[in-house]
Structures are given as structure tokens and as C-alpha cells.
């Protein structure tokens, strides 16, 4: 959009929004003037030429800074928002080194496969433009065998992901002699994606990588890049245990951005019921598209994404002008890679004008600049919100972000308190690189790769005494288990099989259900979906929408991991209802603390889809129910349980208020502990599951559960057990110090917000904390 039209459209949008719904608040983020500096002087001419052919004649200041640090041999982390030319920060020094040293190699790691493919195409573009002629190979699960061989011997830049490094490259490092002997740079992009338990795994994988590189005589420089988080430098240093330079001043320019927070109109003013935020977001997007504004709409679920894209296309349907020449596509996981590539390309090239996406497009996949982003509901973290908003306005000029608040209390709170929302800073990211479970699993893999010497620290820092001690203890344990053999000063892997096979870096099961279209004798694979989601979305008779085409499920065979679907034209969609509960399996240790017991044990977390609703398209009118017969999704895991003893102070406090309120207070206390625990036990908030019941059926008294969301557990429950008192203390501090009058998202949440409840929650936490101290 040119600036004048943009301003005009922005004003028009404001009045349109004000007329049809309610603008809770709006704000204008000022434009930033780019801080340009000349290209480095000693840049090889081919590189200068390649940059020139892409229109780059100068660098942003942060790119130059990153370049200089990397060239000086410093490890660094670059933190800048989307569209700030982040990739050049690492491509420039890496390419120059590769050009200067004909044998040198670099490794690029991305959190997902989709990203690495995108990166390869971006790099190839630079290459082709300047005919630099460096071989770049993507090496992941999809790489064909003949390319793998070539990549190992002659790939100068290998693009891969931590999972492939863990299971494919490191255990077979002797096939990569040339690569490891000449490894000069390791680029870890999207660092913020590696946090919590997943990040702890990745930390160990990087440790193994450093160890193998060292064996071949190389000590590569690390370049991390991250979206905005509160502690990028600390996080990067935890990974490689040495000083990392931080580059965070953004020298890229950007246009103004206007953010609107919109509250959907009241449908029932008496009961305070508002119009659905999805439908509201849809009409905002439709309005924008018709004004020629290229827009991305973020929605929370895959189902909503498909529904909204269909609705939009229906509304744009017009045979006389070929639908106004406008194309809208849904984008989500579960599409075929080729379909995703096509949409990304369409967005970059401008022949797709609108996209409805899950947070799948939040990561750095290059889709070019869009003009507006519509965000349906708070995406769960402030960093995500700004990432999504940043999808609009990559180029200079005015861009728009419309935050459509849902009726969820959190959204309503943000709608009412813009100052609170806008001043929130990005979340911290934590990893525990020495989580004993994860550490030991990777120690096994490392021993398989290379025997350990006595006294060796499984750490990037050879002088790390604590790591050396932990390594020694774990190796002795593995020796007792007969997994390693200790002889002549070394520990040798001494078991059959591949340890890496038994360790997965992610929770998500790799067992995907394949979706096959069998309409009229066809047999076309149209997509895939992970098993737990399949149970919720692909049950028999479910309506499944794929890229706007509507199907109905004929049969779901979980054993064969096959779902057969047929085209259908029923006028409703289906939404399953999931019931979750927790069952205590064992109590391994019970620690009495006066009025409460702290119990560590195994629990079963069960999710069962039992019923589904049929909802009419567009109106969401409920037109019927159906039963679902599928086995429950069960996970056995470790949990810390806090059970209140009858007649104790906390027990009495909860007894004296009505049950529903008591439930809310217990839950908000548990939630607050969960929110504050990650900083103590170095995990991500999403690694901890929480549940609470005032009338717990197992303990017959009020109880809280803090459990590990990884099947079998990764030590989260144990770590919290050791840190519960401190986590409670932080919760008390947060609650007592919260300046709000009667509850806010920072303390007890907004669902039970009232001054009285806030006081009760504080009282409860103090009682619990007091018991722990005794």
C-alpha cells in the first residue's frame, strides 16, 4: 500500500470498526528510520555482486555488528523482530568464510523441516543471483539417499534440524569426517523455539555436536538468532557455556503500525454476550481484502482455519469478476508439504491475497510482507502476539494489526487495560541443560558416538566441575546397568542397538494418521494428522475440511493409522467434546508437612472424546449430537501432588466458602505456582500440567496436581518437589505485590477476579507455604 492510501484505509477502518463493533483501544507504533551502514570493505566481490543483484547496497547496523563479531570469532546471538534482515546477519560472515576457505563447512539448524526448506531456497536465491557456487544441502528425513551421500562429502552448508542431528548425523559421524573436520560455523536459528524440555534436549544435542567436532579438531563459532524473548543472551550461554555477544539493536527501518483492539458487538446486552470473535475477525478480514489490503488472519485451531477460509471464499464468490480477483487460502499443519510450499510461494509472489493460519506461520517462514494482520484472541504469549502482528508490514509503510478479543476473561481484561497489555514484556525462556533424565539419555548417545574419558565433562566447557561430576555419576550408573564398560580409563558403549532410537526430542508422537480421499473409487492421500488430534477431529462421521474442500470421515483406523474420507456436502461441521481426568496410579513417596502431604507418584492423564456437536455453517447453530467410540488418549506420567489434610487451616479455609468459589481459588493458586515455577526449575510453562480439585476423589480432600506433560516424566515433578516452597514464596510475593484492585492476569487470573477472592487466594498460599516451612 502506498502511504496515502494506507492512511486513508486506516481511517476508514477505524470508522467502520467503530460503527459495526467496538474499538476497545487503538495505538500507533511510530515508524523507525533505518540505520544503514556501508557494506564491509573486505567483502569478496562475488558476494557484493550477489547482494547487489538483490538490491542490497548497504547493511543495517545490527547486520554489520553481527558480521563483525562473527568475523572476529565471537559467538553471538541476534535478537531482532521479523523482517529485520536477520538471515543476512549469519549468511554474510558464513558465506565469506566459505568463499575464503575452500574446505570449510557450516551447519544451519532450524526447529522444523518446513523452515529448513525455506532457508535453502532463500540461500539458493542468493547463490544463483551471484553465481557464488557453494553447495547447499538440506539433510533431513525427507532427503533422498543419493543426495545424502553427496551432502556428506561435498555439501558446504548443511541445513538440518536437531532431530536429524540427534538420530541421523551424530551417531554416524564417521561418515562425515570431511564435514566435521572443517566445520567453522553453527547457526542455530529460532532459538526461542528451543525452550523447556525440548530446549534441554537440544542443549544436549549441541553438546554432543561440539564434542564430535572437537574430536575432528574443529571448534566452530555459534551464531544464534531468536525472536524477542526476555533473556536471549542467558539462554544462548546456557547452551554453549561460554560468553555470547548480544546483538539486539534493530537497525532495520519499519513503517508505522496501527494496532486496534476490537471487541465484537454485544448481541445480548443484558447478559453481556458478544458476537463470536471468529466471525468478527472474518468480517474484518473481508472488509480489508475488499479494500485491496493483503491480510493474514491468525486463528487458534486447525478447524477454525479451514472454516474461516471457506467462509471468506464463499463471500468473495462472484462469477462476474472472478471473485474480485481475490484468493484466500488456509494454512495449517497437516497440509501436504507441496501444498504448504505452494501457499508460501503464492503469498510471496502476491497471487494469494489472504491467508488464514494457525500459529504455523508465526515462525520465520518467508511469505513476504502483508499489509494487515488480524489476530483472533490472545495467542498465549506476548512474544507470539507481536510475532503475529509483525507478519504485517515487513516493508516500510503503514501496516495494520487488528486484535479481536474473544469473550474469554483474559481477552476482555486486555481489552479493558491497554496500558497493561502494551507494557507487558516478552516472556523468559528457560532450559535445564542438566536435567538428570535428559542429560543421562544423551550421555548414552554420546558414549555411543565416542567413548568417554575418565574425568571428562559432558559439557561444552571442559572445565565445568559440576558437569564433570554429574558425568562421572551418570557413567557409573550406566556401567552398573551394563550399558557402558569402564576399562583402561575410558567408558565404552557396550550394548546392542542405537540409544538414539529410544530418545525422542519432542513430545509429539511421530505416528501420524494418513488421510485418504476415497470418493468414487479414488485413493488419494490428502494429508496427515497426529494421533491425539485425529481422535478429536477425524472420528467416524466427522466433517473434515482440507484446503476448503469438505469431506466426511468414513472410517478411522487407529491401528493402521489410516483415515478414509469422502467428499460431502452436509451443511454442518463437527466439534468434538473432550473429557479429561486424572487417576492416581502410585504414591512413591509421601512427605507429611503438618496440614498437607507432598506426594510424588505416577498418574494417568486421560482425555476421552465422547460426543460431538453438529454445528451449522455460518450460524454455528447446534443441529444435533453424535456419539464417538474411540479409545481414550492416555498418558502415564509423574506428578507432584499436594493433598490437604482434613481440619488443617487450608482445608478449613476452602470448606468455609461455597464449593464453586473454592474450586476457583484453589485452581488460581495452583495456576500461579505453575506460572512461577519455570523460572525456578528451568522449564517452559507448557512442560507443566496442572489440575486441582476441592473434592478430590482419590485423596477425599482438596488436592493439587503438578505433572510432567512428557509421557513417563522428565524430572519436572521431582524438580518441583524440591522447589515447591520457593515457587510458593514467589507466588505469594507476586500476589501480595500485585497493584491491581481485585485480580488480574498477573495474579489470580480474571475468571474469579474480586478483591475478596484475591485475599482468599493469598491466604491459602500463605497457609500452604507455612506448612511447607514447618
Partner 1 sequence: MPLVNLKDRLALIKSDRDKKASPAPRKRIVPEGWTEIAPLVWMREIDRPFVRAPAFFSPHLMRAMPFREDRRQNRGGTGSQCADIPPVPAERIVFFDLETTGLSGGSGTIAFLSTVARFEGSDLVLRQTFLGDYPGERDFLVLVTSQLEDADWVASYNGAAFDLPLLQTRCVLNRLAMPLVRHIDVLHDCRRFWRGLAASCSLSSMENLILKKERDEDIPGALVPGVWLDYVKSDVLREEQSALMTLVWRHNVQDVVSLAELFLLVESAYRSPESAVLRYSIDPAGLARRLLRMDREEEAKGILLMVRDKAEMFELTGDARTRALRHLASIAWKARDRELYVKTILAMDDASLFGCLAKAKLYEHFLKEELSALSWARKARDIAVAGGAGEGTRASASSLSALSLEAIDHRIARLERKIAKKDNPAAL
Shortest CA distance to 290 belongs to which of 330, 323, 257?
Answer: 323
Member of 482, 521, 658, 737 binding partner 1 (CB under 8 A): 482
Residue 609 within binding range of partner 1, rule CB under 8 A: no
Mention every residue, 6+ apart, whose C-beta is less than 8 A from residue 759. Answer: none
Q: Is 523 in the site for partner 1 (CB under 8 A)?
A: no
**According to the binding rule CB under 8 A, does residue 447 interact with partner 1?**
yes
Nearer residue to partner 1 within complex by CB, 74 or 486: 486
Helix (H, G, I), strand (E, B) or coil at 332: coil
Is 1 buried (19+), middle (13-18) or exposed (0-12) by CB count in 10 A? buried
Residue 349 near partner 1 by CB under 8 A: no
Q: What character string, x for contact with partner 1 (CB under 8 A) and - otherwise, covers 584-603?
A: ----x-----------x---
Q: Which of 497, 658, 737, 739 binds partner 1 (CB under 8 A)?
A: 497
Q: Which of 11, 12, 142, 476 binds partner 1 (CB under 8 A)?
A: 476
Q: Report CA torsion sign: 736, 739, 742, 744.
A: negative
In terms of C-beta density within 10 A (0-12 exposed, 13-18 middle, 19 or more buried), how is residue 684 classed? buried
41 scored as a contact of partner 1 (CB under 8 A): no
> Which residue among 449, 536, 633, 687 contacts partner 1 (CB under 8 A)?
449
Q: Which of residues 256-315 bind partner 1 (CB under 8 A)?
A: none
Instruction: Considering the complex, state which of residue 255 and residue 499 has its C-beta at the smaller distance from partner 1.
Output: 499
At residue 644, φ and ψ (nearest 5 deg) are -85, 140
CB closer to partner 1, 352 vs 475: 475
Residues 6+ away with beta carbon under 8 Å from 429: 191, 192, 194, 195, 196, 199, 229, 230, 231, 235, 684
Q: Give the distance, in angstroms, between the CA of residue 330 and the centroid of all CA atoms in the same chain.
A: 19
CB of 171 to partner 1, least distance (A): 4
Residues binding partner 1: number (CB under 8 A): 48
The answer to whether residue 466 forms part of the interface with partner 1 (CB under 8 A) is: no
Determine, following the binding rule CB under 8 A, whether residue 660 of this chain makes contact with partner 1: no
C-alpha distance from residue 304 to each of 367, 375, 387, 579 (Å) = 21, 13, 20, 20
The reply on whether position 490 binds partner 1 by CB under 8 A is yes
User: What is the DSSP code string of 48-110?
Assistant: HHHHHHTT--EEEHHHHHHHHHHHTT--EEEE--TTS-HHHHHHHHHHHHHHHSTT-EEEEE-
Shortest separation between residue 146's beta carbon and partner 1, angstroms: 6
Burial class (CB in 10 A: 0-12, 13-18, 19+), 255: buried
CB of 482 to partner 1, least distance (A): 6
Near partner 1 by CB under 8 A: residue from 495, 558, 630, 738: 495
Whether 452 and 458 have beta carbons less than 8 Å apart is answered as yes
Q: How far is the CB of 526 from partner 1 (least distance, A)?
A: 23
Distance CA(92)–CA(99), nearest Å, equals 11
By the rule CB under 8 A, 31 interacts with partner 1: no
Are the C-beta atoms of 81 and 228 separated by less than 8 Å? yes
Taking CB under 8 A as the binding criterion, the range among 43-51, 419-427, 450-458, 519-527 that sits at the site for partner 1 is: 450-458
Start-end of H helices in 614-707: 649-655, 659-681
Contact flag: residue 16 with partner 1 (CB under 8 A): no
Residue 211 near partner 1 by CB under 8 A: no
Helical residues (DSSP H) of 577-658, grouped into ranges:
649-655
Nearer to partner 1, 15 or 469 (CB): 469
Strand-strand pairing, 22-29 and 622-627: unpaired
Please, which residue, 371 or 449, has the CB nearer to partner 1?
449
Kindly state the smallest distance separating residue 173's Cβ from partner 1, in Å: 6
- CB 496, min distance to partner 1, A: 5
Task: Identify which of residues 175 and 541 has a Cβ nearer to partner 1 in the complex.
Answer: 175
- Tell me how far, at minimum, the Cβ of 473 lies from partner 1, in Å: 6
Task: Specify the residue, 485 or 541, whose C-beta has the smaller distance to partner 1.
Answer: 485
Of 3, 350, 624, 712, which one interacts with partner 1 (CB under 8 A)? 712
Report if residue 131 touches partner 1, rule: CB under 8 A. no
Task: Please identify, using beta-carbon distances, which residue of 602 and 684 lies nearer to partner 1.
Answer: 602
Q: Is 103 in the site for partner 1 (CB under 8 A)?
A: no
Contacts with partner 1, 142-171, as mask; x by CB under 8 A: ----x--x---x-----------------x
Q: Which of 12, 103, 125, 473 binds partner 1 (CB under 8 A)?
A: 473
Query: What residues does 525 pair with on adjacent strands?
Result: 516
User: For partner 1, which is the closer residue by CB, 174 or 351?
Assistant: 174
Q: Which is nearer to partner 1, 40 or 436 (CB)?
A: 436
Sign of the torsion angle spanned by Cα atoms 224, 227, 231, 235: negative
Alpha-carbon distance 274 to 407, whole Å?
A: 7
Rounded to whole angstroms, how far apart are CA atoms 262 and 403? Answer: 6
Interface mask toward partner 1 for 407-446; x: CB under 8 A? -----------------------------xx--x------
From 291, 348, 417, 485, residue interacting with partner 1 (rule: CB under 8 A) = 485
The residues near 490 (Cβ < 8 Å, ≥ 6 apart) are 451, 452, 453, 454
Cβ atoms of residues 143 and 171 within 8 Å: no
In the range 536-595, which residues lie near partner 1 by CB under 8 A?
588
CB 486 within 8 A of CB 494: no
486 touches partner 1 (CB under 8 A)? yes
Among 175, 611, 725, 769, binds partner 1 (CB under 8 A): 175
Question: Least distance in Å: CB of 467 to partner 1?
Answer: 14
Residue span binding partner 1 (CB under 8 A) among the ranges 33-41, 378-386, 496-504, 737-745? 496-504
Distance CA 360, CA 768 (A): 40
Give the separation between CA 314 and CA 296, rounded to whole angstroms: 17
Q: What share of the chain is helix, strand, coil (3-state, %, to 5)?
A: 40, 25, 35
498 forms part of the interface with partner 1 (CB under 8 A): yes
| DSSP three-state, residue 458 | coil
214 forms part of the interface with partner 1 (CB under 8 A):
no
Neighbours of 11 (CB within 10 A): 11
Q: Are 60 and 35 in contact (CB under 8 A)?
A: yes
> What's the min distance (Å) between Cβ of 184 and partner 1?
20
Interface residue list for partner 1 (CB under 8 A):
146, 149, 153, 171-175, 177, 436-437, 440, 447-451, 454, 472-474, 476-477, 480-483, 485-490, 492-499, 588, 600, 638, 712-713, 715, 718
Amino acid at each position: 500500500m502506498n502511504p496515502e492510501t494506507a492512511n486513508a484505509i486506516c481511517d476508514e477502518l477505524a470508522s467502520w470498526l467503530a460503527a459495526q463493533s467496538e474499538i476497545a483501544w487503538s495505538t500507533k507504533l511510530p515508524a523507525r528510520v533505518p540505520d544503514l551502514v556501508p557494506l564491509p570493505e573486505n567483502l569478496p566481490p562475488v558476494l557484493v555482486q550477489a547482494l547487489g543483484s538483490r538490491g542490497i547496497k548497504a547493511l543495517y547496523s545490527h547486520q554489520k555488528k553481527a558480521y563483525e563479531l562473527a568475523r572476529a570469532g565471537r559467538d553471538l546471538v541476534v535478537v531482532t523482530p521479523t523482517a529485520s534482515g536477520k538471515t543476512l546477519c549469519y549468511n554474510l560472515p558464513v558465506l565469506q568464510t566459505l568463499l575464503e576457505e575452500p574446505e570449510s563447512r557450516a551447519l544451519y539448524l532450524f526447529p522444523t523441516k518446513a523452515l529448513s526448506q525455506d532457508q535453502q531456497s532463500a540461500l539458493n536465491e542468493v547463490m544463483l543471483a551471484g553465481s557464488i557456487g557453494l553447495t547447499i544441502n538440506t539433510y533431513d528425513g525427507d532427503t533422498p539417499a543419493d543426495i545424502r551421500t553427496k551432502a556428506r562429502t561435498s555439501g558446504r552448508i548443511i541445513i538440518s534440524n536437531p532431530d536429524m542431528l540427534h538420530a541421523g548425523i551424530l551417531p554416524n559421524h564417521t561418515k562425515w569426517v570431511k564435514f566435521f573436520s572443517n566445520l567453522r560455523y553453527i547457526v542455530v536459528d529460532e532459538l526461542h523455539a528451543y525452550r523447556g524440555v525440548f530446549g534441554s534436549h537440544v542443549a544436549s544435542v549441541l553438546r554432543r555436536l561440539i564434542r564430535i567436532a572437537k574430536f575432528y579438531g574443529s571448534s566452530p563459532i555459534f551464531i544464534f538468532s531468536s525472536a524477542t524473548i526476555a533473556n536471549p543472551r542467558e539462554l544462548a550461554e546456557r547452551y554453549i557455556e561460554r560468553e555470547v555477544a548480544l546483538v539486539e539493536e534493530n537497525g532495520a527501518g519499519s513503517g508505522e503500525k496501527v494496532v486496534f483492539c476490537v471487541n465484537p458487538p454485544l448481541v445480548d446486552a443484558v447478559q453481556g454476550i458478544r458476537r463470536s470473535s471468529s466471525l468478527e475477525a472474518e468480517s474484518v478480514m473481508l472488509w480489508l481484502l475488499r479494500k485491496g489490503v493483503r491480510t493474514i488472519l491468525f486463528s487458534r485451531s486447525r478447524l477454525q482455519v479451514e472454516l474461516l477460509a471457506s467462509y471468506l471464499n464463499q463471500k468473495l464468490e462472484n462469477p462476474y469478476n472472478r471473485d474480485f480477483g481475490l484468493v484466500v487460502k488456509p494454512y495449517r499443519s497437516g497440509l501436504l508439504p507441496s501444498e504448504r510450499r505452494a501457499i508460501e510461494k503464492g503469498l510471496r509472489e502476491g497471487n494469494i491475497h489472504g491467508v488464514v493460519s494457525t500459529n504455523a506461520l508465526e515462525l520465520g517462514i518467508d511469505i513476504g510482507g502483508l499489509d494487515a494482520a488480524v489476530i483472533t484472541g490472545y495467542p498465549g504469549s506476548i512474544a507470539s502476539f507481536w510475532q503475529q502482528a509483525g507478519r504485517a508490514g515487513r516493508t516500510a509503510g503503514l501496516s495494520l494489526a487488528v486484535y479481536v478479543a474473544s469473550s474469554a476473561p483474559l481477552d476482555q481484561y486486555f481489552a479493558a487495560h491497554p496500558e497493561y497489555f502494551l507494557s507487558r514484556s516478552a516472556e523468559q525462556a528457560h532450559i535445564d541443560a542438566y536435567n538428570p533424565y535428559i542429560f543421562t539419555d544423551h550421555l548414552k548417545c554420546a558414549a555411543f558416538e565416542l567413548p568417554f574419558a575418565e574425568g571428562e565433562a559432558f559439557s561444552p566447557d571442559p572445565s565445568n566441575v559440576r558437569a564433570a561430576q554429574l558425568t562421572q555419576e551418570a557413567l557409573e550408573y550406566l556401567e552398573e546397568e551394563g550399558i557402558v564398560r569402564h576399562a583402561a580409563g575410558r567408558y565404552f558403549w557396550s550394548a546392542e542397538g542405537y540409544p538414539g532410537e529410544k530418545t525422542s526430542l519432542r513430545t509429539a508422537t511421530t505416528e501420524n494418521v494418513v488421510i485418504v480421499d476415497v470418493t468414487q473409487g479414488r485413493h488419494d492421500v490428502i494429508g496427515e494428522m497426529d494421533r491425539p488430534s485425529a481422535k478429536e477431529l477425524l472420528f467416524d462421521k466427522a466433517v473434515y475440511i482440507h484446503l476448503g474442500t469438505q469431506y466426511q470421515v468414513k472410517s478411522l483406523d487407529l491401528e493402521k493409522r489410516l483415515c478414509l474420507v469422502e467428499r460431502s456436502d452436509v451443511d454442518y461441521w463437527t466439534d468434538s467434546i473432550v473429557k479429561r481426568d486424572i487417576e492416581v496410579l502410585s504414591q512413591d513417596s509421601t512427605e507429611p508437612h503438618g496440614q498437607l502431604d507432598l506426594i510424588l507418584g505416577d498418574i494417568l492423564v486421560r482425555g476421552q472424546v465422547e460426543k460431538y456437536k453438529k454445528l451449522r455453517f455460518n450460524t454455528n447453530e447446534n443441529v444435533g449430537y453424535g456419539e464417538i467410540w474411540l479409545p481414550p488418549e492416555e498418558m502415564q506420567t509423574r506428578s507432584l501432588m499436594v493433598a490437604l489434610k482434613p481440619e488443617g487451616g487450608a482445608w478449613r479455609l476452602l470448606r468455609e466458602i461455597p464449593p464453586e468459589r473454592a474450586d476457583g481459588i484453589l485452581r488460581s493458586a495452583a495456576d500461579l505456582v505453575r506460572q512461577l515455577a519455570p523460572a525456578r526449575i528451568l522449564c517452559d510453562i507448557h512442560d507443566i500440567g496442572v489440575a486441582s480439585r476441592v473434592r478430590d476423589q482419590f485423596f477425599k480432600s482438596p488436592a493439587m496436581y503438578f505433572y510432567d506433560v512428557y509421557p513417563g516424566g522428565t524430572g519436572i515433578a521431582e524438580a518441583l518437589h524440591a522447589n515447591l516452597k520457593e515457587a510458593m514464596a514467589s507466588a505469594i510475593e507476586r500476589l501480595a505485590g500485585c497493584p491491581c484492585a481485585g485480580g488480574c492476569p498477573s495474579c489470580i487470573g480474571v475468571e474469579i477476579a474480586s478483591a475478596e477472592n484475591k485475599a482468599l487466594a493469598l491466604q491459602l498460599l500463605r497457609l500452604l507455604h507455612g506448612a511447607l516451612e514447618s
